[in-house]
Structures are given as C-alpha cells and as structure tokens.
Structure 1
Amino acid sequence: MKSQLSEAYNLLVTKLEAWFNAIVSNIPNLILAIVVLIAAYFIAKYVKKYVTKFVAKKVQQNSITNMIGTLSSVVVVLAGLFLALGILNLSKTLTSLLAGAGVAGLAIGLALQGTLSNTFAGIVLSFRKKIQIGHWVETNGYSGEVIDINLKDFTIKEADNNMVIIPNKMILDNPMKNYTLTTKMRVFLECGVGYESDLDHVQQLTKETICNTFDQIEKPEDVEFYYTEYGGSSINYLCRFWIDADNALEKMRSKSKAIIEIKKAYDKENINIPFPIRTLQFDNKLSVDSSKGVEKQFSNN
C-alpha cells in the first residue's frame, strides 16, 4: 500500500514538474501573446474610430456606420487572438476554433437566412448614391419620401403622412423610380372642349395660360398641345409641359394649378368644357285604347 502511494506521489510530482517546466519555458511566449492581445485591443479601438469616420462620409445611416466600425474592430481582435494562439503553439486549438466557427456560422446562416439577406441588402442600399434619405421614390406599389434605411428595413413616408416599412430585400429585388434624381418633371394634362369651339384659339389660349402660370416656361411654343380624339361630348386634347420639381407632390401641385388657371381662362373666353349628358327622347306617341282597358278590368273581376 505504501509503495503504491509513493508511486502515485512520484507520478504527481513528476507531472507537476513537467507542467512547471513547460510554463517556465513558455513564459516568453505567454508574455508575447498577452502583449499581442493587448495591442490588438487598442488597435481595434482606433480602427473602429477611423473606419466609422470614413464610412460616415459615405453613408448617412448611423446604424450602418456603427455596424461596420464594430465589425472592423472584431476582425482586428480575432486576428490578435489567432496570432496569440499561434505564438503559444496551440495550433490544434486554433484549428478547432476555426472548425467550430465554420460549423456555427453555417448553422446560424441557415437559421437566419431571411434576416441576413435583409442585413446585407441594407448595407448595399446604404452605399448606393442614387438612394438617399430625403429622396422621393416609388417602389413596390408605394410612393413617398425615404425616411430611414437601416439593417432590417426601408421606411417611406407617403403623401398622406403614413409610414410604409418595406424589407430591404424587396427593395433590391424590385424596380424603383426615384423622382429626386431629376430636377425636371413633365406634367400631362387631359381635357376636352365643345364641338362649337375654335380649336386654334383653344390651343393658343391653353399654351399662353400655361406659359404665364409657370416661370420656368419661357414661351408658349415650349408647351406641347395635341388634339387626341372626337369624344362623345367633346373634342379631347393632351397638353404636356416641363416644370422644375424633384418629387411627385410638386408635380401634383403644378397640375392642380394648371387646371385652375385653364378653367379661369376658358370661362373668360366663354369656352365650354362639356360633361356627359344623357338625353331621353320619345319620338313615338303611345296610344291607349280606353274601351279595351275597361273590358279587361271587368273580365278580371
């Protein structure tokens, strides 16, 4: 029994001595690894600071800039960790960490496929110069001002002040009309005048009215005017002209203003804008035989 205890004690001492010798021999590597981790920590802080400032010049969304800055700092810290493990000759541990990270990343990616797709779509949208906060856009059946672009969704405020939240993936997968990218818009105005009207006079009056209403139209010849059809109660025309506007709301206001001024000009010149009228005309007189009606009444009784 004493011999067994003595043998176990000797084995334990030998093991501890081996560990102590390993620690002593690896103290320089351990110190160097700690220095590398500390340096990686401080470098990560500076990298995050400068990356955030750089990205902020390109992207207006704070959520995107903070995320990119944090990711850059995490990359620096992970690089320092892997370097420290390499200095300590823990290559097997490093390989295990990489394998575990790969498996975990695959599982997380499959579980959060929709969320990750919206996240990457938000990053792509944030770096697109043609889509910025404050632009007036039309996409996915909605039209309004871009209020926010974050990692999850795309927010639009419509003309009626309602907020529409659309997943970022749908923004990338569908066409978008951006009204703010152009400084001019074309207004289409359709109307009709009575058949008794002087068509040349109507055309000239309409062009002059539009020209006098909007300062950006220099002369009446800049206004396009086309008669389109003989309607049921009027001769219809299409009027087109350009205005200075960068959103659909300005376009609607200009069209409304043009309608008001054209109506005033037509009323002043006694030009009729017809509206559909239904006329009931009875050409045949109905004859009623009173005697047959009386006989039928008695027969029914």
Structure 2
Amino acid sequence: MNLKIGEAWKKMIDRIEGWVDQLIINLPNIIIAIMVFIMAIILSKYISKLTLKLLGKSKLQPSMRQVISRLVSVFVILLGLFLILGILDLSKTLNTILTGAGVAGLAVGLALQGALANTYSGIVLSYIKHLKFGDWIQTNNYSGEIVDIDLRSVTIKEIDNNLVYIPNKLVLENPIKNFSSTAQSRVILECGVGYSSDLEFVRELVIKTIVENFEAVETTNEVIFLYTGFGDSSINFQTRFWINSTSGLEVLKAKTNAIIAIKKAFDANDINIPFPIRTLDFPKPIEITAE
C-alpha cells in the first residue's frame, strides 16, 4: 500500500516538474502572446474609432455605424487570438477550433435564418438614400417618424407617441411610402354643401379662406378645388393645398385648422353643410280613425 502511494506521489511530482519545465521553455512565447493580446485590444479600439470616423462620411445610419465599428473591433481581437494560438504552437487546437466554428456556424445559420435575414435587410436599409432618421414613412400598415434603424428592426414613432418595431425584412420586402421625400406635404380636405348653395361662390370662398390662413399658400392658383359629385344630402367637394412640413402630425393640424376656418367662413355667409336627411314619401294620405 505504501509502495503504491509512493509511486503515485512520484508520478505526480514528475508531472508537475514536467509542467514547470514546459512553462519555463515556453515562457518567452507566453510573454510574447500576452503582449500580442494587449496590442490586439489597443489596436481594436483604435481601428474601431477610425472605422467610425470613416463611416461618418457615408450615408449609413448612426446606429449602423456603431454596429459596424464594433464588428471590426471584434474581428481584430479574434485575429489576435489566432496569432496567439500560433505563437503558443497550438496548431492542433487552432484546427479544432476552426472545424468546430464551421460546424457551429452552419448550425447557427440554419437556426437563425430569420435573424440573419433581418440583419442583412438592416444593412441594405442603411444604404437606401431616401430613408433616414426623422423621415415620416408608412409601411406594413403603420405610419410614423423613423427614430432608429438597427440590425433587427426599424423603429418608428406614431402620431400617438407610441413606438412600433418593424422587422427589417418586412420593411425591405413591402412598399414604403416616404412623406419626407419632399419639403412639403399636401393637405386633402373633403366636405359638402347644400343643394341650394351658389357653387361658384362656395369655390371662391374656400380658396380665399385657405390662402388667408396658410402662409405656404401664396396665391389662389396654388389651391385645387374640385366638386366630386352629388351626394344624398349635399354636393361634395374636395380641396387640396400644400404646407411646408413633412410630418404627418403637422398635416393633421393643418387639416384641423382648415376645417375650423372653412366652417367659420360658411357660417358667416349662411352656407349650409347638410347632415344626412331621409325623406319618406307615402303614396296615399294616412287615415287616422278614432275608435
């Protein structure tokens, strides 16, 4: 029993001495590897800042610039780790890591198809010239101001100040209506007047009211007034004019102000905006008999 314990103890001492000898032999390589690792971290920070500075001249969204600079930083650190494995003569370990990374990458790629599609779509959206922060867009039955574009989703702020996160893939694959592609937005207002109204006077009054209440409308020629048809209780019309804003909220405010101004003008000139009326026509007089 004592002999076996002595042999085990001797083997353990021999193993420890071998490790110490190996450590002493590889000490220069270990010091070099540590220095390479420190240099890789410092270099990754410098290259990340440089990448961010270079991307500042591009048309990428700020969030995408941050993501790309971080990916570059991670790539530099990984490159440093591979160099360290080579310095420490761990080529077999390196081959094992690369093989495992390939298999793991295939498995992750299959499992994260949706996430990868959103990532690719986010990169593509960042390069679209007419889609940027602050634009008012409509897509996938949502409309609002773009407040962020990252590798997962496009974030828009709706009129009610709620945030909607739309996956990049859906935004890229579906139509996008950008209200901010021009410096102005068109306000479209529909209304109706009674059949007894002077239609020419109504047209002149509405156009004059719009010109007087909106600075962006300088002349009467900039207001479009069209009668659209005979309704059940009114003759319907539509008026269109431009305002100096691309915000959907400002369009609604302008429409509200136009409704108020037109209603005041109609009231001042005894022009009736009729509500639906139903007339009942009886072919014969109704006889009421007392019992």
| TM > 0.5 | yes
In the other structure, the counterpart of 2:200 is 200
Q: Distance in 1 between matches of 2:276 and 2:126?
A: 52
Shift of 1:214: 0.7
In the other structure, the counterpart of 1:135 is 135
With 203-212 and 225-234 compared, the bigger mean Cα shift is at 225-234
Secondary structure of the 2:114 match is helix
Secondary structure of the 2:281 match is coil
Does residue 284 of structure 1 match 2:280? Answer: no
Secondary structure of the 2:239 match is strand
Percent identity reads: 52
Return the letter of the residue paired with 2:161. Answer: N
Instruction: Check the 8 A contact 2:193/2:234 in 1, yes or no.
Output: yes
In the other structure, the counterpart of 2:174 is 174
In the other structure, the counterpart of 2:11 is none
List per-residue Cα deviations over 1:243-283 (Å, max 9, x = no partner): 11111111111111111111111222222222221122334
Secondary structure of the 1:280 match is coil
Q: Distance in 2 between matches of 1:103 and 1:83?
A: 22
Secondary structure of the 2:62 match is coil
Shift of 1:227: 1.8
Q: Distance in 2 between matches of 1:209 and 1:287?
A: 52
Are the structure 2 counterparts of residues 287 and 87 from structure 1 closer, same or farther at C-alpha, using a change threshold of 3 Å?
Answer: closer
Secondary structure of the 1:181 match is coil
Does residue 209 of structure 1 match 2:199? Answer: no
Secondary structure of the 1:165 match is strand
Pairs aligned (count): 274
Are the structure 2 counterparts of residues 261 and 111 from structure 1 closer, same or farther at C-alpha, using a change threshold of 3 Å?
Answer: same
Shift of 1:85: 4.7
With 98-107 and 67-76 compared, the bigger mean Cα shift is at 67-76
Of the two, which has the highest radius of gyration? 1
Return the letter of the residue paired with 1:252. Answer: L
Q: Report matched runs for 1:177-256 at 5 Å.
A: 177-256=177-256
List per-residue Cα deviations over 1:217-253 (Å, max 9, x = no partner): 1111221112222222222222111111111111111
Return the letter of the residue paired with 1:59. Answer: Q
Secondary structure of the 1:108 match is helix
Are the structure 2 counterparts of residues 38 and 230 from structure 1 closer, same or farther at C-alpha, using a change threshold of 3 Å?
Answer: closer
Q: Which TM-score applies when normalising by structure 2? A: 0.78
With 272-281 and 36-45 compared, the bigger mean Cα shift is at 36-45
With 78-87 and 227-236 compared, the bigger mean Cα shift is at 78-87
Are the structure 2 counterparts of residues 109 and 281 from structure 1 closer, same or farther at C-alpha, using a change threshold of 3 Å?
Answer: same
Q: Distance in 2 between matches of 1:71 and 1:286?
A: 86
Q: Report matched runs for 1:5-44 at 5 Å.
A: 36-44=36-44
List per-residue Cα deviations over 1:20-50 (Å, max 9, x = no partner): 89x96x8887776665444333322321232
In structure 2, runs of 5+ residues without a counterpart are 1-13
Return the letter of the residue paired with 2:61. Answer: V
Return the letter of the residue paired with 1:210. Answer: I
Does residue 118 of structure 1 match 2:118? Answer: yes
Return the letter of the residue paired with 2:224. Answer: E
